[in-house]
Protein backbone atom coordinates (compact mmCIF):
# COMPACT_ATOMS: atom_id res chain seq x y z
CA UNK A 1 0.00 0.00 0.00
CA UNK A 2 2.75 2.40 1.00
CA UNK A 3 4.64 1.36 -2.13
CA UNK A 4 1.57 2.18 -4.26
CA UNK A 5 1.23 5.62 -2.58
CA UNK A 6 4.89 6.24 -3.12
CA UNK A 7 4.50 5.37 -6.78
CA UNK A 8 1.56 7.79 -7.04
CA UNK A 9 3.62 10.48 -5.31
CA UNK A 10 1.24 10.93 -2.31
CA UNK A 11 3.79 10.56 0.54
CA UNK A 12 6.31 13.03 -0.88
CA UNK A 13 3.41 15.45 -1.46
CA UNK A 14 2.29 15.14 2.19
CA UNK A 15 5.87 15.59 3.45
CA UNK A 16 6.27 18.63 1.24
CA UNK A 17 3.03 20.08 2.62
CA UNK A 18 4.17 19.55 6.23
CA UNK A 19 7.53 21.07 5.38
CA UNK A 20 5.85 24.16 3.94
CA UNK A 21 3.69 24.49 7.06
CA UNK A 22 6.74 24.21 9.35
CA UNK A 23 8.61 26.76 7.25
CA UNK A 24 5.61 29.07 7.31
CA UNK A 25 5.40 28.82 11.12
CA UNK A 26 9.11 29.60 11.46
CA UNK A 27 8.75 32.62 9.20
CA UNK A 28 5.77 33.94 11.19
CA UNK A 29 7.54 33.33 14.52
CA UNK A 30 10.66 35.06 13.25
CA UNK A 31 8.59 37.98 11.97
CA UNK A 32 6.93 38.36 15.40
CA UNK A 33 10.32 38.46 17.13
CA UNK A 34 11.71 40.95 14.61
CA UNK A 35 8.60 43.12 14.94
CA UNK A 36 8.93 43.12 18.72
CA UNK A 37 12.62 44.01 18.66
CA UNK A 38 12.20 46.67 15.96
CA UNK A 39 9.15 48.29 17.60
CA UNK A 40 10.80 48.41 21.04
CA UNK A 41 14.07 49.91 19.83
CA UNK A 42 12.21 52.34 17.54
CA UNK A 43 9.86 53.40 20.34
CA UNK A 44 12.69 54.17 22.79
CA UNK A 45 14.56 56.43 20.39
CA UNK A 46 11.42 58.06 18.97
CA UNK A 47 10.32 58.90 22.52
CA UNK A 48 13.76 60.28 23.39
CA UNK A 49 13.57 62.50 20.32
CA UNK A 50 10.01 63.60 21.13
CA UNK A 51 10.91 64.52 24.71
CA UNK A 52 13.57 66.95 23.47
CA UNK A 53 10.67 69.23 22.63
CA UNK A 54 10.03 71.28 25.81
CA UNK A 55 6.26 71.36 25.24
CA UNK A 56 5.83 67.60 24.76
CA UNK A 57 8.15 66.88 27.67
CA UNK A 58 5.50 68.47 29.90
CA UNK A 59 2.57 66.67 28.29
CA UNK A 60 3.30 63.18 29.59
CA UNK A 61 -0.31 62.26 30.39
CA UNK A 62 -1.52 63.22 26.92
CA UNK A 63 1.41 61.29 25.43
CA UNK A 64 0.39 58.16 27.35
CA UNK A 65 -3.22 58.64 26.21
CA UNK A 66 -2.06 58.67 22.60
CA UNK A 67 -0.21 55.37 23.01
CA UNK A 68 -3.16 53.74 24.80
CA UNK A 69 -5.51 54.92 22.06
CA UNK A 70 -3.31 53.41 19.31
CA UNK A 71 -3.01 50.17 21.28
CA UNK A 72 -6.80 49.97 21.73
CA UNK A 73 -7.42 50.45 18.00
CA UNK A 74 -4.81 47.89 16.90
CA UNK A 75 -5.99 45.26 19.40
CA UNK A 76 -9.62 45.80 18.40
CA UNK A 77 -8.70 45.27 14.73
CA UNK A 78 -6.63 42.18 15.65
CA UNK A 79 -9.66 40.64 17.38
CA UNK A 80 -11.90 41.09 14.32
CA UNK A 81 -12.05 39.42 10.90
CA UNK A 82 -10.01 38.50 8.97
CA UNK A 83 -7.36 38.35 11.73
CA UNK A 84 -9.28 36.81 14.67
CA UNK A 85 -6.08 36.66 16.76
CA UNK A 86 -8.08 36.41 19.99
CA UNK A 87 -11.67 36.48 21.24
CA UNK A 88 -12.53 39.78 22.97
CA UNK A 89 -14.24 39.62 26.39
CA UNK A 90 -15.75 42.35 28.55
CA UNK A 91 -14.48 42.51 32.14
CA UNK A 92 -16.10 44.33 35.12
CA UNK A 93 -15.39 48.06 34.74
CA UNK A 94 -14.97 48.86 38.45
CA UNK A 95 -12.60 45.95 39.03
CA UNK A 96 -10.42 47.16 36.16
CA UNK A 97 -9.91 50.70 37.48
CA UNK A 98 -7.14 49.92 40.07
CA UNK A 99 -5.22 47.83 37.54
CA UNK A 100 -5.58 50.52 34.89
CA UNK A 101 -4.23 53.08 37.35
CA UNK A 102 -1.03 51.07 37.75
CA UNK A 103 -0.96 50.47 33.99
CA UNK A 104 -1.05 54.20 33.31
CA UNK A 105 1.37 54.90 36.16
CA UNK A 106 4.12 52.59 34.97
CA UNK A 107 3.91 53.93 31.39
CA UNK A 108 4.04 57.59 32.46
CA UNK A 109 6.90 56.98 34.91
CA UNK A 110 8.77 55.01 32.25
CA UNK A 111 8.42 57.89 29.79
CA UNK A 112 9.52 60.38 32.46
CA UNK A 113 12.56 58.22 33.20
CA UNK A 114 13.48 58.31 29.52
CA UNK A 115 12.90 62.08 29.40
CA UNK A 116 15.10 62.86 32.42
CA UNK A 117 17.83 60.21 32.00
CA UNK A 118 20.22 59.05 29.34
CA UNK A 119 19.08 56.12 27.19
CA UNK A 120 21.70 53.85 28.77
CA UNK A 121 20.69 54.62 32.36
CA UNK A 122 16.99 54.32 31.48
CA UNK A 123 17.46 50.88 29.91
CA UNK A 124 19.69 49.49 32.66
CA UNK A 125 17.33 50.72 35.38
CA UNK A 126 14.51 48.78 33.67
CA UNK A 127 16.44 45.54 34.21
CA UNK A 128 16.00 46.02 37.97
CA UNK A 129 12.32 45.21 37.44
CA UNK A 130 13.30 41.52 37.47
CA UNK A 131 14.67 41.34 41.06
CA UNK A 132 11.90 43.67 42.24
CA UNK A 133 9.23 41.33 40.82
CA UNK A 134 10.89 38.35 42.51
CA UNK A 135 10.91 40.18 45.86
CA UNK A 136 7.23 41.13 45.58
CA UNK A 137 6.27 37.57 44.64
CA UNK A 138 8.14 36.31 47.70
CA UNK A 139 6.60 38.88 50.08
CA UNK A 140 2.99 38.91 48.85
CA UNK A 141 2.46 35.62 47.00
CA UNK A 142 4.69 33.38 49.13
CA UNK A 143 6.67 32.19 46.12
CA UNK A 144 9.78 30.32 47.28
CA UNK A 145 13.24 31.56 46.34
CA UNK A 146 16.23 29.21 45.95
CA UNK A 147 19.88 30.10 46.47
CA UNK A 148 20.44 29.84 42.71
CA UNK A 149 17.60 32.32 42.13
CA UNK A 150 19.08 34.71 44.70
CA UNK A 151 22.44 34.41 42.96
CA UNK A 152 20.90 35.23 39.57
CA UNK A 153 19.09 38.27 40.98
CA UNK A 154 22.23 39.45 42.77
CA UNK A 155 24.06 39.22 39.44
CA UNK A 156 21.41 41.50 37.88
CA UNK A 157 21.75 44.12 40.63
CA UNK A 158 25.57 44.06 40.64
CA UNK A 159 25.70 44.25 36.85
CA UNK A 160 23.42 47.28 36.72
CA UNK A 161 25.37 48.96 39.52
CA UNK A 162 28.75 48.35 37.89
CA UNK A 163 27.61 49.62 34.51
CA UNK A 164 25.89 52.73 35.84
CA UNK A 165 28.83 54.01 37.91
CA UNK A 166 30.06 55.85 34.84
CA UNK A 167 26.65 56.90 33.54
CA UNK A 168 26.21 60.44 32.29
CA UNK A 169 23.11 62.52 31.71
CA UNK A 170 21.55 61.41 35.00
CA UNK A 171 20.54 63.55 37.98
CA UNK A 172 19.17 62.72 41.43
CA UNK A 173 15.72 63.58 40.08
CA UNK A 174 16.20 61.28 37.09
CA UNK A 175 17.44 58.42 39.27
CA UNK A 176 14.46 58.84 41.61
CA UNK A 177 12.03 58.72 38.68
CA UNK A 178 13.79 55.61 37.27
CA UNK A 179 13.50 53.90 40.68
CA UNK A 180 9.80 54.76 40.96
CA UNK A 181 9.30 53.51 37.40
CA UNK A 182 10.70 50.01 37.92
CA UNK A 183 8.99 49.65 41.34
CA UNK A 184 5.55 50.56 39.93
CA UNK A 185 6.21 48.37 36.88
CA UNK A 186 7.04 45.46 39.18
CA UNK A 187 3.79 45.86 41.14
CA UNK A 188 1.90 46.01 37.84
CA UNK A 189 3.55 42.84 36.47
CA UNK A 190 2.80 40.87 39.64
CA UNK A 191 -0.76 42.13 39.79
CA UNK A 192 -1.50 41.55 36.11
CA UNK A 193 -0.39 37.92 36.41
CA UNK A 194 -2.82 37.45 39.31
CA UNK A 195 -5.67 39.18 37.47
CA UNK A 196 -5.21 37.02 34.37
CA UNK A 197 -5.70 33.95 36.58
CA UNK A 198 -8.63 35.49 38.46
CA UNK A 199 -10.47 36.46 35.25
CA UNK A 200 -9.23 33.43 33.24
CA UNK A 201 -8.21 35.65 30.32
CA UNK A 202 -5.18 36.03 28.08
CA UNK A 203 -2.94 39.09 28.03
CA UNK A 204 -4.51 40.61 24.86
CA UNK A 205 -8.02 40.12 26.26
CA UNK A 206 -7.00 41.92 29.44
CA UNK A 207 -5.11 44.63 27.56
CA UNK A 208 -8.10 45.35 25.29
CA UNK A 209 -10.09 46.12 28.45
CA UNK A 210 -7.28 48.07 30.11
CA UNK A 211 -6.26 50.42 27.32
CA UNK A 212 -9.61 52.21 26.68
CA UNK A 213 -10.32 52.56 30.42
CA UNK A 214 -6.81 53.97 30.93
CA UNK A 215 -7.52 56.60 28.26
CA UNK A 216 -10.64 57.69 30.18
CA UNK A 217 -8.78 57.84 33.50
CA UNK A 218 -5.92 59.86 32.03
CA UNK A 219 -8.30 62.28 30.32
CA UNK A 220 -9.42 63.38 33.80
CA UNK A 221 -5.80 64.14 34.78
CA UNK A 222 -4.75 66.15 31.72
CA UNK A 223 -6.06 69.55 32.99
CA UNK A 224 -4.13 69.14 36.27
CA UNK A 225 -0.78 67.74 35.11
CA UNK A 226 -0.23 68.66 31.46
CA UNK A 227 0.67 71.90 29.79
CA UNK A 228 -1.35 71.91 26.58
CA UNK A 229 1.19 72.28 23.74
CA UNK A 230 0.86 74.73 20.89
CA UNK A 231 0.95 72.37 17.92
CA UNK A 232 1.98 75.20 15.60
CA UNK A 233 5.26 75.62 17.49
CA UNK A 234 6.17 71.92 17.34
CA UNK A 235 8.52 70.99 14.44
CA UNK A 236 6.93 68.86 11.73
CA UNK A 237 9.52 66.08 12.13
CA UNK A 238 8.64 65.83 15.85
CA UNK A 239 4.94 65.52 14.97
CA UNK A 240 5.79 62.72 12.53
CA UNK A 241 7.81 61.02 15.29
CA UNK A 242 4.82 61.43 17.63
CA UNK A 243 2.53 59.68 15.12
CA UNK A 244 5.04 56.88 14.51
CA UNK A 245 5.56 56.35 18.26
CA UNK A 246 1.86 55.49 18.58
CA UNK A 247 2.18 52.86 15.86
CA UNK A 248 5.36 51.52 17.47
CA UNK A 249 3.66 51.25 20.89
CA UNK A 250 0.74 49.34 19.39
CA UNK A 251 3.09 47.04 17.44
CA UNK A 252 5.08 46.39 20.61
CA UNK A 253 2.01 45.33 22.58
CA UNK A 254 0.68 43.20 19.72
CA UNK A 255 3.99 41.41 19.02
CA UNK A 256 4.57 40.87 22.73
CA UNK A 257 1.53 38.65 23.23
CA UNK A 258 2.08 36.94 19.85
CA UNK A 259 5.55 35.83 20.95
CA UNK A 260 4.36 34.52 24.31
CA UNK A 261 1.28 32.91 22.76
CA UNK A 262 3.01 31.26 19.78
CA UNK A 263 6.32 30.44 21.48
CA UNK A 264 7.17 30.92 25.15
CA UNK A 265 7.96 33.47 27.82
CA UNK A 266 11.59 32.32 27.66
CA UNK A 267 11.75 33.22 23.96
CA UNK A 268 10.35 36.61 24.87
CA UNK A 269 13.03 37.01 27.55
CA UNK A 270 15.80 36.22 25.05
CA UNK A 271 14.30 38.76 22.62
CA UNK A 272 14.22 41.29 25.49
CA UNK A 273 17.93 40.78 26.12
CA UNK A 274 18.68 41.35 22.43
CA UNK A 275 16.67 44.58 22.60
CA UNK A 276 18.59 45.68 25.69
CA UNK A 277 21.95 45.16 23.98
CA UNK A 278 20.82 47.06 20.87
CA UNK A 279 19.40 49.98 22.87
CA UNK A 280 22.44 50.21 25.14
CA UNK A 281 24.88 50.04 22.24
CA UNK A 282 23.12 52.63 20.11
CA UNK A 283 22.38 54.81 23.13
CA UNK A 284 26.01 54.94 24.18
CA UNK A 285 27.16 55.60 20.61
CA UNK A 286 24.70 58.49 20.27
CA UNK A 287 25.87 59.87 23.63
CA UNK A 288 29.53 59.57 22.65
CA UNK A 289 30.28 57.11 25.47
CA UNK A 290 32.85 54.39 24.84
CA UNK A 291 32.25 50.86 26.07
CA UNK A 292 34.81 49.93 28.74
CA UNK A 293 35.71 46.51 30.14
CA UNK A 294 33.79 47.41 33.31
CA UNK A 295 30.69 48.26 31.25
CA UNK A 296 30.99 44.97 29.34
CA UNK A 297 31.30 43.03 32.61
CA UNK A 298 28.25 44.79 34.03
CA UNK A 299 26.13 44.06 30.97
CA UNK A 300 27.12 40.38 30.98
CA UNK A 301 26.28 40.09 34.70
CA UNK A 302 22.93 41.88 34.33
CA UNK A 303 21.73 40.08 31.20
CA UNK A 304 23.15 36.74 32.32
CA UNK A 305 21.42 36.99 35.69
CA UNK A 306 18.11 37.98 34.03
CA UNK A 307 18.34 35.03 31.62
CA UNK A 308 19.13 32.50 34.39
CA UNK A 309 16.28 33.85 36.51
CA UNK A 310 13.87 33.55 33.57
CA UNK A 311 14.88 29.91 33.02
CA UNK A 312 14.48 29.11 36.73
CA UNK A 313 11.06 30.80 36.89
CA UNK A 314 9.79 28.58 34.02
CA UNK A 315 10.46 25.37 36.00
What is the per-residue pLDDT for 262?
A: 62
What is the per-residue pLDDT for 270?
A: 61
3-state secondary structure the chain: CHHHHHHHCHHHHHHHHHHHHHHHHHHHHHHHHHHHHHHHHHHHHHHHHHCCCHHHHCCHHHHHHHHHHHHHHHHHHHCCCCCCCCCCCCCCHHHHHHHHHHHHHHHHHHHHHHHHCCHHHHHHHHHCHHHHHHHHHHHHCCCCCCHHHHHHHHHHHHHHHHHHCCCCCCCHHHHHHHHHHHHHHHHHHHHHHHHHHHHCCCHHHHHHHHHHHHHHHHHHHHHHHCCCCCHHHCCHHHHHHHHHHHHHHHHHHHHHHHHHHHCCHHHHHHHHHHHHHHHHHHHHHHCCCCCCHHHHHHHHHHHHHHHHHHHHHCC
What is the per-residue pLDDT for 261?
A: 60
Give the pLDDT confidence of 235-289 residue by residue, as tens digits.
999 999 999 999 999 888 778 767 766 665 556 656 676 777 777 777 677 666 6
More confident residue, 267 or 195: 195
> What is the distance between the alpha carbons of residues 27 and 58, in angstroms, rounded to a whole number?
42
pTM of the model: 0.76
Grade residue 70 by pLDDT with cuts at 50, 70 and 90: very high
Grade residue 24 by pLDDT with cuts at 50, 70 and 90: confident
Answer whether residue 168 shows pLDDT above 80. Answer: no
Give the pLDDT confidence of 90-112 residue by residue, as tens digits.
999 998 999 899 889 988 999 99
Answer whether residue 2 shows pLDDT above 60. Answer: no
Mean pLDDT, the chain, whole residue set: 81
Answer whether residue 16 shows pLDDT above 70. Answer: no
The residue-averaged pLDDT of 130-151 equals 81
Give the pLDDT confidence of 39-60 residue by residue, as tens digits.
988 998 899 899 999 999 999 9
Per domain, the residue ranges of the chain are 36-144+170-263
Q: What percent of the chain has pLDDT over 90?
A: 27
Report the range of poorest mean pLDDT among 179-183, 247-251, 257-261, 302-306: 257-261
Answer whether residue 315 shows pLDDT above 70. Answer: no
Amino acid sequence: MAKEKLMRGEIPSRDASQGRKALGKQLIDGSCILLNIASTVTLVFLNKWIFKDPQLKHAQVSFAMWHFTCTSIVLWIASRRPFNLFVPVRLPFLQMIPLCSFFAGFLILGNLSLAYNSVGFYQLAKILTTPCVALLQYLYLGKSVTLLTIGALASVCIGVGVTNTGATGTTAQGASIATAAFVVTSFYQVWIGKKMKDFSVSSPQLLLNQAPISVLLLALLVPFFDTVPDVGDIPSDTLVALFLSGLAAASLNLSQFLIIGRMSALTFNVASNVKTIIILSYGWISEGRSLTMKDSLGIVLALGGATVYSQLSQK
